[in-house]
Each structure stands twice: as structure tokens, then as C-alpha cells.
Structure 1
Amino acid sequence: MNFSTDFPRRIRHFIRFILPALLLAGCDYDRFGELPEEESPVMNANTTLASVERFYRNGGVDFPDGTVVSGTVTTSDSAENFYKMLVIQQKETPLAVLTGTYDTYSAYRPGGRIAVRLDGLRVGLWDGMLAVGAPEPEYTEGIDYIASDAVLRKIIARMDGSEPVDTLETSIAGISSALAGRLVRLSDVFFTQGGRHTWSGEQTLSDAGGRTLRTYTSPYASFADDLLPEGRISLTGIVTVYRDVVQLKVSSADDAVPATGRY
């Protein structure tokens, strides 16, 4: 698909398609229930996440009518660490969707495939990740949370089957901002405060060579007050960037397993 920018067209689409759904959202706009199968619209992807990334790198922000992508969900907000978003990945390219809603895991589970209609949304960066969200009214290139499950039910469709995610097996030395949004797995690492400090906030992950990487856990996450695991572990998470600092963010404490097996 050839992308082009058309700000007036995008505004017309927002008024015709997104705004009515927002008005119908009701008082429970930010919390999903289990979605019946028949409520998931039928969509077919017509471009790739790699094409969306190129579109953004070339200066694009708003999508042509009918732009649809697909990918595999790599995050879960069940433990409330990924706040009002989900991340999908197709091959090596990730994309964050700023849902603005809670409990999206009940509808879009990790490992499940979804299609996302992008026209009416805008692409930008969020925590260093390529992301799509609602247009920020005061900034021509800004993005914000969609914040309506009525809208999400119209623009996100669950697809049949599941697809393995290309989880990048790497080391602390291999982590950089270029991987923002990617699902990665670090083996044979350890928390410097393992067994002595909780997950909450920024914590330091280290390897045998003394290299370090920060992890971040929201103080509101359900596991924030749990003690960090002790000893050498394998840790799986999403690479993010906060104020130019590269971090790793996990969906839950279950993403940390001992080097020889599961806790």
C-alpha cells in the first residue's frame, strides 16, 4: 500500500467513524469484558508493520483510508504493568497500540493474532516504541490514548489461530533503543537487589561481565511489592525507552524464570 498524508481526510474519518463510537462508549468505556466472537469485525491486513515503520521514518503520521495491519500480541495488562496499551509484533517489527483501556488481556491475549485498522489513528513514538493512537488535538504529530472500548471493537479484530513471536534471544550488551518495542529474552542475568528489594520502580539487572540494564515496574502493578527473584534467571520483556534510558518491562513476575527452570 502506498501511504500518503491527508489531514482533512483524516479529520473527516475521525468525525464519521471514531467520534460516534466514542459517544456510544458509555460509563464503562475503559474496561473490557470478554468479547463475544460475533462482535469481532472481519478485517484483512493489506500492509505490514515494516511498511508502517518506513512510513513513519519517512515523515508520515496519518494513514490512508482502509489501512489494516496484523500482528501477534506480545504483552498482557493482567498484572497492570503495561498501562492502557498492548504491543503486537510481526516478524521483527513491533507496534504499540495505545488502547487507553484496562483489562485488554481479556479480549486480546498474548500469542493471539489481531488485525488493526489504522485510518483515523496517528503513528508516533511512545516510550521509544513505534505506536499508534488517537490524534493529539493540540499537536499535528502528537498521539494520545484511544480510551474507548467502543472504538477498539470497531478497529481491532481477533484473527484465527496463533503465531509464534520472534522473541529475540540476546544479552544486556545487545539491548539498545533500536530494539524498542521488541520482545526479548535475556539469559543468565540477575537482579543486583534480588531477594532484598521489590520489583517496584527502576531496578538493576546485571550479567557476569558486570554490564547492567534497568527494568521498570509500575508501583501499581499487582506484583510491584513482591521481592525480586534471587540468583541467575532468564528474563523476558519488552524494550522501552524513558528519558533516553533504555529499560526492560515485563508483563508479570512470571516472565522471570530461573536459569534451570521455572520458579
Structure 2
Amino acid sequence: MKNLKQYIIIILFVTGIISFQSCIKGDFEQPPVVMPTVDFKANMTIAELNQYYRDSLHSASPVLITKDIIIKGVVISSDKAGNIYKSLYIEDGTGGINIKLDQKEIYNIYKLGQRIYIKCKGLYMGNYKGVPQIGYSNSGSLSYIPSTLFSTYIFKDSFPGNPPAPRVMNISDFTLNDISTLIKLDSVHFAPADTMQPFVVPGTAYGTDRTIIDKNGNSIVIYTSVYADFATALVPKGTGSIVAILSYYNGTNSYQLYLRDINDVQGFHE
């Protein structure tokens, strides 16, 4: 009788452990991952939107987009390294666009290679130093789209894939249509005065320009923010390749480049 009671107690104890483990497993099971999809199509390319802005909307102040314009593109930027701030860059094969978002660590929300659609109606279009941008209006200036409105205007489609390969270009070939796209420059070197110096001059308030030169003597600056995690890295000697987002600064009427991270500086050797 005593052995029977012990046996029953053991059975109940084991059953309780199994039930407890099942409850824990049930409480912490991950919800199924649902692939995001959209049920609408883009009706304008990014290049067409940029041209529409230049031809029809251009003004000194941000312009409200009143037409039912939908664009799509793939994310080519990442703010993980801190060199890009509250901006999302997408391109669609025809051009690129900078979207101003009131959000830090955007890379956690819109990852490299993520295809997104943007319903532009209700947003504003403007430019910063010659670079077309989509954003929101704040007292007559182009501001960031509030995070509470992301789901109203920005829609993911499918899971992130491979980001577009950068287009191999020459500095002399850049046009305004290439702004905000991912490009690659081969066989370039940094200006001798910049090499073995940190990408950002210590103590500067915002950032630093470093000059790269191609084999034909053409040059362009790479701008690095003081907040970049590679700000103290040394500018390499030798020749290599640069992958970057092409930008523009009409204060000097010149193109400039933004690195996404230090891995965009590739293969430099003397």
C-alpha cells in the first residue's frame, strides 16, 4: 500500500512538471511571422516624381502633394553606423529619393533590401541644398514625417531581399538624376593631405569632408558626421573602391558622398 502511494505521488509529480513546462512553452511561443504585402501598385517612378517636383511643384517652400501618387523602391541606406540621420533612401532603378523620418535606428524598421511603397498624397516635397526630399511640413519648412504616421504613408512589401547592387560610375558622369542612389567608384584614392587622418577632425561640431580622386584627376568629397561610429577611423592610403549614396550640395554646386558604414571603403592598398 505504501509503495502504491509513493508510485501515485511520483506520477502526479512528473505530470505536474510536464504540465508546467507546457504552460511555459505556450506562454512564450512566438507568434507566426506574417509576410507584409500590399494590394496596390505604384503609379509613378521615382525619376518621374523628382521631375514632377522640378517642373510643377518647385518652390522655396515645401509643397503639399495633392495627387494620388504612389511610388515604390528598395531601401539602400542604413543609419546603424550613425552617419545617416533620420533619413531613409530608396531607389527603383530610375532614380532615388530621400525620405525624412522622425525616427532613430531606422535600420531596425526598414532594413536594407526592404521593398516599400509610399502613398505620397498628404506628404510634402521639397529639397535640401538641391536634394529632393519627401517629408512633412512644419511652419513652412520641410520636416520629418512623424513616427505615428509611418503606417499611413509607408508600406512594406515582402521580406527584405538583397539591396540593389551599386552602379559603378565615374565622377565625371554624375547627373542630378543620380542623386540619392547607391553608386560605386573604383580605382580612387584619398587626397594625400587627408590620408592617415581621422575621417572627422577631432573637436569639429558637425562633420568633415575628405576628398577622393579618380585616375583621371576628378575629385569628390565624402562627408562624415561627427556621430558616425567610424569618425575616428583613419583615412586609408593607396587605391581602392568607394560605395556610397550620392548627394548634392548647392552651396558649392558640387556632388558629395555619404558612406553608410566603414565597410563601404573597400580594398584600399598601396
Distance in 2 of aligned mates of 1:125 and 1:37? 38
Distance in 1 of aligned mates of 2:70 and 2:175? 29
Going from structure 1 to structure 2, the CA distance change for 1:253 and 1:164 (only over 3 Å counts) comes to closer
Q: Quick check: 1:119 aligned with 2:121? A: yes
After superposition, the C-alpha distances for 1:72-127 in whole angstroms (9 at most, x for unaligned) are: 11110001111110100011310110012110101111122111121111112234
- What is the letter of the counterpart of residue 179 of structure 1? D
Q: Partner of 1:51 in structure 2?
A: 48
Across the two proteins, how many residue pairs are aligned to each other?
221
CA contact (8 A) 2:241 2:265 kept: yes
Distance in 1 of aligned mates of 2:143 and 2:35? 25
- Which of these two proteins has the greater Rg computed from alpha carbons? 2
CA contact (8 A) 1:43 1:157 kept: no
Q: Quick check: 1:236 aligned with 2:243? A: yes
Distance in 2 of aligned mates of 1:37 and 1:114? 18
Q: Quick check: 1:204 aligned with 2:188? A: no
CA contact (8 A) 1:128 1:180 kept: no
Distance in 1 of aligned mates of 2:226 and 2:35? 34
Q: Partner of 2:171 in structure 1?
A: 172
Distance in 1 of aligned mates of 2:150 and 2:33? 14
- What is the letter of the counterpart of residue 81 of structure 2? A
Q: Quick check: 1:160 aligned with 2:158? A: yes
Going from structure 1 to structure 2, the CA distance change for 1:229 and 1:45 (only over 3 Å counts) comes to farther
Q: Partner of 2:4 in structure 1?
A: none
Match of 2:88 among 86, 89, 104: 86
Superposition RMSD in Å: 2.5
Q: Secondary structure at the match of 1:111?
A: coil
Q: Quick check: 1:190 aligned with 2:192? A: no
Going from structure 1 to structure 2, the CA distance change for 1:49 and 1:178 (only over 3 Å counts) comes to closer
Deviation at 1:237, TM superposition (A): 0.6
CA contact (8 A) 1:41 1:156 kept: no
Distance in 2 of aligned mates of 1:231 and 1:113? 36
After superposition, the C-alpha distances for 1:6-44 in whole angstroms (9 at most, x for unaligned) are: xxxxxxxxxxxxxxxxxxxxxxxxxxxxxx966968453
CA contact (8 A) 1:43 1:115 kept: no
Q: Secondary structure at the match of 1:58?
A: helix
Compare 225-234 and 62-71 and name the one that shifted more.
62-71
CA contact (8 A) 1:68 1:118 kept: yes
Going from structure 1 to structure 2, the CA distance change for 1:130 and 1:166 (only over 3 Å counts) comes to farther
Q: Partner of 1:26 in structure 2?
A: none
CA contact (8 A) 2:46 2:97 kept: yes
Q: Partner of 2:107 in structure 1?
A: 105
Compare 100-109 and 44-53 and name the one that shifted more.
44-53
* Superposition TM-score, scaled by structure 2 size: 0.73
Q: Quick check: 1:247 aligned with 2:246? A: no
Going from structure 1 to structure 2, the CA distance change for 1:245 and 1:43 (only over 3 Å counts) comes to farther
Q: Which runs of 5+ in 1 are unaligned?
A: 1-35
Q: Which runs of 5+ in 2 are unaligned?
A: 1-31, 58-62, 201-207
Distance in 1 of aligned mates of 2:263 and 2:244? 11
Q: Partner of 1:218 in structure 2?
A: 225
Deviation at 1:216, TM superposition (A): 0.1
Q: Partner of 1:15 in structure 2?
A: none
Q: Secondary structure at the match of 1:153?
A: helix
